[in-house]
Amino acid sequence: MLQKLEELKKEFRESVEGLTDKNSLAKFKSDYLGKKGKLNDILKGMRSATTDVKKSVGAAANEFKQEIQESLVKQLAKIEIDEINSQLKKSWQDVTLTDDVQVKGLQASGYHPVTLIQREIEDIFISMGFDILDGPHIEDDFHNFEALNIPATHPARDMQDTFWFTDMAHLLRTHTSCIQVRGMEAHEPPFKFVGPGKVFRCEATDASHEMAFHQLEGMMVGKDISVANLIYFMKTLLSEIFRKDVNVRLRPGFFPFVEPGFELDIECLICGGTGCKVCKQSGWVELLPCGMVHPNVLRAGGIDPEQWNGFAFGLGLDRLVMMRYHIDDIRHLHSGDLRFVEQFKAY
């Protein structure tokens, strides 16, 4: 009997893996385990067997039963997976055919590089407690010149620098310093704010000159603000912008709206101050104009220069953009050419 059992086991093991659908599996199960199934067929002789035989055959039969059941469950799972997978195979798609490899897909999307840099710098100022202000592009003589202590005869008012409108009283702002004036009009000291934006100069354009470009004006007004404060502040700010410790130096520079006025140089980031092509061997690169706000400017903004003073500075954003991305021609910035802006894609 044991031998028959062994033979049956062998037969089962050989045929179970050939089952490929649920129906034949069900039939197969009843063939073996059903009342008139092959196992019961063998066990029919059990009644007449000895106790010992009963014991050993019974145990073997139970073991076999269990094996059959487990095998069938396993086989059923396999059949199901195979069925689903063959379904999936029908809905196969090419997962390498993504948007980025196709001509017909949409172009990438992203911010303009000036926006990228401007935001970065605005965020630094926000973190330092500055407000971010704005103002109109079309300005009047007062906000662009007079309030900034630029007298009527000053060369900056010439037609070769300033875009004038036909009434000769309005103009396109030539600097973001107008935002200073508007900021002073709107705020009570002490205050600190920056004003980023587009400015315009009437000059012929080439790879490094634009008639429309971007500046960021900054101003801090309080009690007893000093040159020492200005130096400290600029050093902190520029270290954050360039993400490394920078050295700065001030030298005399003349701008009507500040007194004393400075040109701020930054120790060359390329050579570290030892002298190279970029800094013309001097170790320093001229970066921005700054200075202590001229009392006439404070007065024009409705602030008493006897009580308050402060510093102001201007930063050219386009130059930072050009430096960061090694852009060869400033005219790309306003070109509206998607092949240009696409290179600064956000994702």
Partner 1 sequence: MNISINWIKDYVDLPDDITLGELGTRFTLATCEVEGVETTGEHLKAVKIVEITEIEQHPDADRLNLVTFNTGEEQRRVVCGAPNVAVGKKVPFASIGTTLPGGFTLVPKKIRGIASEGMLCAEDELGLGEAHDGLLILDDDAQIGMSLADYLGTESDIVFEIDNKSITHRPDLWGHYGMAREFAAVFGRPLKDVFSKEWREGLKALYTDEEPPVTITVEEDSCCLGFTGISMENVTVKPSPQWMQDRLSTCGMRPINNIVDISNYVMLETGMPNHIYDRDTIKGGEIIVRRMGEDGVFVTLDEQERNMIATDTMVCDKERISGIGGIMGGLDSSIKDSTSRIFLESANWRDSEVRKTSVRLGLRTDASQRYEKSLDTNLLEQSLLRLVELLKESCPEAVVVGPMQKTAMQPTPELKITCSADRIARVLGETVAAERIVEILESLDFKVTVDGDVLIVDVPSYRATKDIEFEADIIEEIGRVIGYDNITPVSPINLAETTRLSDAKQMQRKIQDYMVFHARALEVMTYPMIGKKLLEQASWPIKNEKLTLVNALAPELSRMRPSMVPTLLEKAAQNQKNFNSFRFFEMGRSYESLEGQAYSKDRYQLGVVFFDKTGSPFLDLLNVMKPLMNFLNLKAQFEPANEKYPNPVMPAEWSGVHPHEYLNIKVMGKNCGIVNTVHPIITRQFKIKGNVAVAIFDITDFMDREIKDKTKYTALPKFPSSKFDCTVVADAQTPVSDILRVMNKLKVKEAEGVKILDVFKMSEEQKTVTIRTTFLDREKTLSPEVLREAEDKVVATLKKAGFPLKV
Stretch binding partner 1 (CB under 8 A), from 1-9, 43-51, 54-62, 225-233: 225-233
Our CB check for partner 1 shows the closer of 59 and 138 to be 138
Tell me the C-alpha distance between 131 and 61, whole Å: 87
Rounded to a whole number of angstroms, the minimum distance from the CB of residue 66 to partner 1 is 46
Site string (253-292) toward partner 1, x via CB under 8 A: xx----xxxxx------------------x---------x
Our CB check for partner 1 shows the closer of 71 and 247 to be 247
Tell me the C-alpha distance between 5 and 184, whole Å: 102
Pairing of strands 258-267, 248-252: antiparallel
Among 205, 241, 273, 327, binds partner 1 (CB under 8 A): 205
Stretch binding partner 1 (CB under 8 A), from 23-31, 64-72, 130-138, 237-245: 130-138
Tell me the residue length of the chain.
Answer: 347
Put residue 276 in one of left, alpha, beta given phi > 0 → left and psi -120 to 50 → alpha: beta
The structure tokens listed for 270 are 């390329």
Residue closest to 332 by CA, chosen among 162, 199, 212:
212
Angle between helix 51-90 and 2-16 (nearest 10): 0
Our CB check for partner 1 shows the closer of 29 and 173 to be 173
Q: Kindly list the distances between the CA atom of residue 36 and the CA atoms of 26, 33, 39, 51, in Å, as whole numbers in the listed order.
A: 15, 8, 8, 24
Among 73, 77, 126, 207, binds partner 1 (CB under 8 A): 126
Query: Does the footprint of partner 1 cover residue 329 (CB under 8 A)?
Result: no
Stretch binding partner 1 (CB under 8 A), from 58-66, 74-82, 118-126, 178-186: 118-126
Query: Does the footprint of partner 1 cover residue 101 (CB under 8 A)?
Result: no
Residue closest to 293 by CA, chosen among 266, 311, 279:
311
State which amino acid sits at residue 74.
K
Rg for the chain, CA atoms, rounded:
42
* Residues in 287-306 that interact with partner 1 by CB under 8 A: 292, 294-295
Among 78, 226, 278, 328, binds partner 1 (CB under 8 A): 226
Q: Could you tell me how many residues of this chain bind partner 1 (CB under 8 A)?
A: 85
Query: Does the footprint of partner 1 cover residue 121 (CB under 8 A)?
Result: no
* Residues in 145-174 that interact with partner 1 by CB under 8 A: 153, 155, 158-160, 163-170, 172
Site string (36-75) toward partner 1, x via CB under 8 A: ----------------------------------------
Among 95, 97, 101, 346, binds partner 1 (CB under 8 A): 346
Residue closest to 125 by CA, chosen among 209, 186, 183:
183
Instruction: Scan for tokens 């354009």, then name that residue.
Output: 205
Q: Are 145 and 138 in contact (CB under 8 A)?
A: no
Our CB check for partner 1 shows the closer of 37 and 260 to be 260
DSSP 66-80: HHHHHHHHHHHHHHH
Rounded to a whole number of angstroms, the minimum distance from the CB of residue 190 to partner 1 is 7
Instruction: Scan for tokens 């044991």, then name that residue.
Output: 2
Tell me the C-alpha distance between 321 and 250, whole Å: 24
Query: Does the footprint of partner 1 cover residue 21 (CB under 8 A)?
Result: no
